[in-house]
Amino acid sequence: MSVKIIKVFAISIILYSPFSLSTDRTTLVQQCAVCHGSNGISANSAWPNLAGQNKGYIVTQLKRFKSGARKNALMTPVLNNLTDQDMEFLADYYSSQQVAIPPAKVINQQGRNVSGYCMPCHTAKGYAVNDEWPNISGQHADYLFNQLMSIKNGKRQSMIMNSVISDMTEEQLRSVADYYQQIGN
């Protein structure tokens, strides 16, 4: 190989190799890890775990936060500088993380009964039937309950979900939120 070709080769590695991007991407992930944990498991029960969440669902939610369709004071500022490519990367990153959350010893029976209404879309094990919808098994119960209340009172817009839970009581929603955390993943 001539010196010239080696130089061109070396420069193209610097410009195009994934390694030259990794500093940016590490910084990107670190921004999220502050709240969602470096393994996609958040330390605060009001903040969602992202490990193993569906890719399509993550991208859609990030775009909704960015456009203001879904509002949250902690999430919105983080998204201002993210490009569509960044969001795709982050969604890939979190959806491919696998963290096993063990089931609890005691399962909320009332929640289990209520979960019959959730199964057509979230299945008995809490894994959504398609990539656009969220997995909810092993998710923090406090987070799940907050989202259910937000959807019920219209603060978070979801016609599909709202029609399922609008007649449910706060007690039913609390119990089903507990149940889905307890079954683990």
Least Cβ distance, residue 98 to ligand HEC (angstroms): 17
Question: Does 148 sit near ligand HEC (CB under 6 A)?
Answer: yes
Using CB under 6 A as the binding rule, the residues of this chain from 93 to 132 that contact ligand HEC are 114, 117-118, 120-122
Question: Does 141 sit near ligand HEC (CB under 6 A)?
Answer: no
The one among 31, 39, 110, 162 contacting ligand HEC by CB under 6 A: 31
Query: DSSP of 12-80, one letter per residue?
Result: HHHHHSHHHHHHHHHHHHHHHHHHH-TTS--SSTTS---TT--HHHHHHHHHHHHHTSS--TTHHHHHT
Question: Does 43 sit near ligand HEC (CB under 6 A)?
Answer: no
Using CB under 6 A as the binding rule, the residues of this chain from 50 to 69 that contact ligand HEC are 50, 58, 61-62
Burial class (CB in 10 A: 0-12, 13-18, 19+), 89: middle
Closest residue by Cα to residue 60 from 158, 127, 136, 185 = 158
Least Cβ distance, residue 143 to ligand HEC (angstroms): 7
Q: How many residues bind ligand HEC (CB under 6 A)?
A: 35
Q: 107 and 97 in contact (C-beta within 8 Å)?
A: no
Question: What dihedral do alpha carbons 147, 156, 158, 168 form, nearest 10°?
Answer: 50
By CB under 6 A, name the binding residues for ligand HEC: 31-32, 34-36, 47-48, 50, 58, 61-62, 72, 74-75, 78, 90, 114, 117-118, 120-122, 133-134, 136, 144, 146-148, 158, 160-161, 164-165, 176
